[in-house]
Amino acid sequence: MQSNGLANNLNVGENEELTYAKEESRFDGHSGEYGITETLYQSEPRLSHLQHFRGEKRKKPHTSLLSRIKTFFRTHHAFTVLRAIVSLFCGAVLIWVTPSLQFFGVDSFILGLSIILYDHSLTRGSSILSMFLFLFTFSIGSGLTAFSFWTARLIGDFDQFAIFWLWLWSVCFAYARVSLTQKWAMPVIVTHFTFVFSLLRALNRPDPQYDTIFKTFFAMACGTIISTLCTIVIKPRSGSEALRKEMKRTLDTMKVLFDTTLRVWLGTASTEDEQKLIHHENRIRAHLTSLSKRLDSLQWEITYSRWDKQSIQIIVSFFQQTLVHLKSMGSSCRISEDLKRKNDKVETVVRSLGPPLEIVEARIVELLDQVSIQLHLDREDCKEGQQFVNTKRLSQSVQKFHDVNKGVTEDIIHKHGWETEGMPLVYFFIFSLLKCSEEITNIILFMNEGQGRERFHFPHYFHNYLDSVAKYFQLNRELVEQRENRSKQDGDGKVKRDDEKKKSKIVYRWRKLTLTLWEISRFFTTKETKYAIKVSIAVVFTTMWQFIRVSNDWYISWRGAWAAVTVIFVYSPSVGDNVIQTILRILGTLLGAGWSILSWLAFPGNPYGLSLMLVLCSIPSFYIKMNTKYPKMGTIIIITFDVSAYTIVTLGRYAAGEFSNVGVPSIYELAYKRSVMTVGGCLVILIIDRLLWPNLARVQLRHTLSTIIREVTLIYGTTVRLLYSKEESLLLDIQRAQTTVSLQLAKAESLLESSIIEPRMKGPFPVKEYRKIIRHIGILLDRTVTARLAVRGDFGQDIWTKVIEPLRETREDLVAKCLLLFWISESSMLWKKKLPHYIPDIKATREKLLRDITQLEYFQQTKEVASSTNLISYLTWLNSYTEVSIELGELLSSLKYLFGEEPPIQNFVINLY
Span 114-123, pLDDT tens digits: 888 888 888 8
What SS3 state is found at 418?
coil
Q: Does domain 697-899 have CATH number 3.40.228.10?
A: no
DSSP state of 33: E
- 594 vs 788: CA distance, rounded Å: 60
> Per-residue pLDDT averaged across 14-42, rounded?
33
Q: DSSP character for 43?
A: B
Give the count of alpha carbons within 13 A of 549, CB side only.
Answer: 0
pLDDT(640) > 60: yes
Q: Give the pLDDT confidence of 688-729 residue by residue, as tens digits.
A: 988 888 888 889 999 999 999 999 999 998 888 888 877 777
Distances (CA, A) of 187 to 125, 130, 450, 692: 17, 8, 39, 27
Q: What is the pLDDT of residue 489?
A: 53
How far apart are the C-alpha atoms of 41 and 353, rounded to whole Å? 8
Q: How far apart are CA 535 and CA 529, in angstroms?
A: 10
Q: Does pLDDT of 467 surpass 60?
A: no
Q: Label residue 819 by pLDDT band (50, 70, 90).
A: very high
Mean pLDDT of 664-668: 73
Which residue pairs from 152-159 have beta carbons closer than 8 angstroms and sit at least 24 positions apart in sequence? Answer: 158/203, 159/547
The phi-psi region of residue 663 (left if phi > 0; otherwise alpha if psi is between -120 and 50; otherwise beta) is left
Task: Give whichever of 34-48, 66-80, 131-145, 303-317 has the largest mean pLDDT.
Answer: 131-145
837 Rama sector, left if φ>0, alpha if ψ -120 to 50, beta otherwise: alpha
What's the whole-number mean pLDDT along residues 340-354?
78
Give the CA distances from residue 52 to residues 1, 57, 366, 424, 911, in Å, rounded to whole numbers and listed in that order: 13, 7, 16, 32, 75
Max CA separation in the chain (angstroms)? 105
CA-CA-CA-CA torsion sign (127, 130, 136, 137): negative
Give me the pLDDT at residue 609, please: 82
pLDDT of amino acid 804: 84
Asked if 619 contacts 81 with a C-beta cutoff of 8 angstroms, the reply is yes
Please tell us whether the domain made up of 239-300+303-457 is placed in CATH 1.20.58. yes
Instruction: Give yes or no on whether 239-300+303-457 and 697-899 have one common fold.
Output: yes
Minimum mean pLDDT range among 375-384, 824-833, 870-879: 375-384
Residues 731, 722: contact at Cβ < 8 Å?
A: yes
Using CA atoms, how far apart are residues 774 and 777, in angstroms rounded to an integer? 5
Would you tell me how many other CB atoms lie within 10 Å of the CB of residue 711?
18
pLDDT score, position 158: 64
DSSP string, 639-684: HHHHHHHHHHHHHTT-BTTB---TTPPPHHHHHHHHHHHHHHHHHH
pLDDT of residue 705: 94
Q: What stretch of H or E contains 34?
A: strand 33-38
For residues 472-494, average pLDDT? 57
Average pLDDT over residues 267-289: 81
Q: Which of 437, 277, 429 is nearest to 346 (CA)?
A: 429
Residue 487 confidence class, pLDDT cut points 50, 70, 90? low
Choice between 453 and 569, residue whose per-residue pLDDT is larger = 569
Among 405-409, 791-795, 837-841, whose mean pLDDT is lowest? 791-795
| List of residues 6+ apart from 539 with CB closer than 8 A | 166, 167, 170, 196, 564, 567, 568
pTM of this structure: 0.78
Q: Name residue 599's amino acid.
A: S
Report the pLDDT averaged over residues 762-780.
89
Lowest mean pLDDT among 242-246, 328-332, 382-386: 382-386
Of the listed ranges 139-143, 383-387, 457-461, 542-546, the least confidently predicted one is 383-387
- The string of DSSP letters for 280-320 reads HHHHHHHHHHHHHHHHHHHTTS-EEESS-HHHHHHHHHHHH
**Residue 271 predicted with pLDDT over 50:** yes
Residue 420, phi then psi, degrees to nearest 5: -80, -30
Domain ranges of the chain: 77-236+528-691, 239-300+303-457, 697-899
110 in Cβ contact with 224 (< 8 Å): no
Residue 303 reports pLDDT greater than 90: no
Q: Which of 89, 83, 229 is nearest to 615 (CA)?
A: 89
Name the range with the highest mean pLDDT among 281-285, 820-824, 850-854: 820-824
The letter for the amino acid at 475 is: L
- C-alpha 637/C-alpha 642 separation (Å) is 9
Rounded to an integer, the average pLDDT of 131-153 is: 86
Contact call for residues 223 and 111 (beta carbons, < 8 A): yes
Percent of the chain at pLDDT exceeding 70: 77
Q: Which residues contact 458 (CB under 8 A, 6 or more apart)?
A: 302
Q: How far is residue 591's CA from residue 584's CA, in Å, rounded to a whole number?
A: 11
* 663 confidence band (pLDDT: 50, 70, 90): low
Average pLDDT (466-485) is: 59
Say which residue, 196 or 38, is predicted with more confidence.
196
Cα-based distances in Å from 440 to 279, 505, 597: 23, 59, 61
Task: Provide the 3-class DSSP secondary structure of residue 269.
Answer: coil
What's the confidence (pLDDT) of residue 272? 79
Indicate whether 318 pLDDT > 90: no
* Average pLDDT of the segment spanning 284-296: 83
Q: Which of 27, 72, 112, 50 is nearest to 623 (CA)?
A: 72
Mean residue pLDDT of the chain comes to 77
Tell me which residue of 335, 545, 328, 292 sits closest to 428, measured CA to CA: 328
pLDDT at position 31, please?
34
% of the chain at pLDDT higher than 90: 12
- Which range of 40-44, 448-452, 762-766 scores highest in mean pLDDT? It is 762-766
Return the pLDDT at 495. Answer: 47
797 pLDDT above the threshold of 80: no
Question: pLDDT tens across 420-432, in order?
Answer: 667 788 888 888 8
Nearest alpha-carbon partner for 194 in 172, 212, 216, 209: 216
Q: How confident is the model at residue 464 (pLDDT cuts 50, 70, 90)?
A: low
Mean pLDDT of 490-507: 55
Query: By mean pLDDT, which of 30-44, 134-148, 532-546 is the weakest?
Result: 30-44
pLDDT band at 539 (very low <50, low <70, confident <90, very high): very high
Task: Give 162-211 pLDDT, tens digit per residue.
Answer: 788 889 999 999 999 998 888 888 899 989 988 888 888 777 766 666 77
CA distance 529 to 521: 11
Instruction: Identify the band that residue 63 occupies on the pLDDT scale cut at 50, 70 and 90.
Output: low
Each residue's pLDDT tens digit, 547-566? 888 888 888 888 888 899 89
Say what the pLDDT of residue 450 is.
67
Name the helix (H) or strand (E) containing 363: helix 344-374
